[in-house]
């Protein structure tokens, strides 16, 4: 009497099934990892946006008070603070409350740091002394007084900035008055004002 063959699954089929199961697990893990990364990235973006909104809301009220006292557009004050301090994250801003990169001469109330200047058509790194403030408000007031009083060599250096009635005119006046060496300075300020609707405070 002939024996019946056992109904066994070929080894090759088991291998194929194992590969499929393993492959499915890898794909599932990859999908979960990608989803987690996307969620983390979304959370980071939300945190960055919240920090930016907080910076604006924190400094806008005092910028408006300075406008009442000295006539400087809050949109320009805020845009300059954002650009010069990298949203308050630069060392100069976070440790010394200098939001505008204002320089000084006295060793008693300044800190020597490296900075970049646009000289003869190229960026160069130099050392300079920057003013140290007790808080951000003190920095903002000194910034306003710089426009009002001008420099030691030209008391009317920033009169065009004070006379400006809109942020575009003020941004270009800052460049022509010699506030910054960056040739793209006006465009950067205008972009910040328009991106974050800073003119709502004017």
How does pLDDT run across 154-188, given as a tens digit for each residue? 999 999 999 999 999 999 999 999 998 889 999 99
Is the model's pLDDT at 123 over the cut of 80?
A: no
Choose the most confident range, by mean pLDDT, from 104-108, 120-124, 162-166: 162-166
Percent of the chain with pLDDT over 90: 61
Q: Rounded to whole angstroms, how far apart are CA atoms 62 and 41?
A: 33
pLDDT computed for residue 41 by the predictor: 84
* C-alpha 195: how far from chain center: 12
φ/ψ (deg, to 5) at 161: -70, -45
pLDDT tens figures, 2-32: 455 455 556 666 666 566 566 666 656 666 7
Mean pLDDT of the chain: 87
Residues 6+ apart with CB under 8 A from 75: 167, 193, 198, 199, 201, 202
pLDDT in the model for residue 127: 79
Class level of CATH domain 39-201? mainly alpha
Task: Quickly tell me which residue has 């204002």 as its tokens.
Answer: 102
Looking at residue 12, its pLDDT comes to 66
3-state DSSP assignment of residue 147 = helix
Average pLDDT over residues 30-49: 82
Which band of pLDDT confidence, cut at 50, 70 and 90, is reported for residue 1? very low
Q: Which residue has the higher pLDDT, 170 or 34?
A: 170
Query: Which one, of 42, 50, 80, 88, lies nearest residue 161 by Cα?
Result: 80
User: Stretch 139-154: mean pLDDT, rounded?
Assistant: 95
Domain ranges (residues) in the chain: 39-201
**Which residue in 79, 64, 59 sits closest to 186, CA to CA?**
79
* pLDDT over 70, % of the chain: 81
pLDDT digits (tens, 9 = 90+) for 70-81: 999 999 999 999
Q: What is the pLDDT of residue 126?
A: 67
């Amino acid at each position: 009497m002939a024996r019946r063959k056992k109904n066994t699954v070929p080894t090759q089929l088991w291998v194929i099934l194992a590969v499929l199961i393993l492959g499915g697990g890898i794909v599932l893990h990859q999908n979960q990892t990608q989803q987690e990364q996307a969620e983390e990235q979304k959370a980071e973006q939300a945190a960055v946006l919240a920090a930016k909104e907080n910076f604006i809301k924190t400094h806008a009220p005092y910028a408006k008070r300075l406008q009442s006292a000295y006539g400087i557009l809050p949109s320009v004050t805020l845009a300059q603070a954002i650009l010069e301090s990298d949203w308050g994250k630069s060392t100069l801003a976070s440790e010394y409350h200098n939001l505008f990169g204002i320089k000084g001469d006295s060793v008693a109330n300044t800190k020597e740091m490296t900075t970049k200047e646009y000289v003869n058509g190229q960026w160069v790194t130099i050392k300079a002394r920057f003013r140290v403030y007790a808080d951000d408000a003190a920095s903002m007031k000194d910034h306003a007084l710089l426009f009002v009083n001008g420099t030691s060599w030209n008391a009317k250096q920033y009169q065009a900035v004070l006379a400006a009635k809109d942020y575009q005119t003020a941004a270009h006046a800052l460049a022509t008055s010699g506030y910054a060496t960056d040739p793209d300075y006006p465009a950067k300020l205008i972009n910040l004002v328009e991106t974050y609707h800073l003119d709502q405070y004017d």
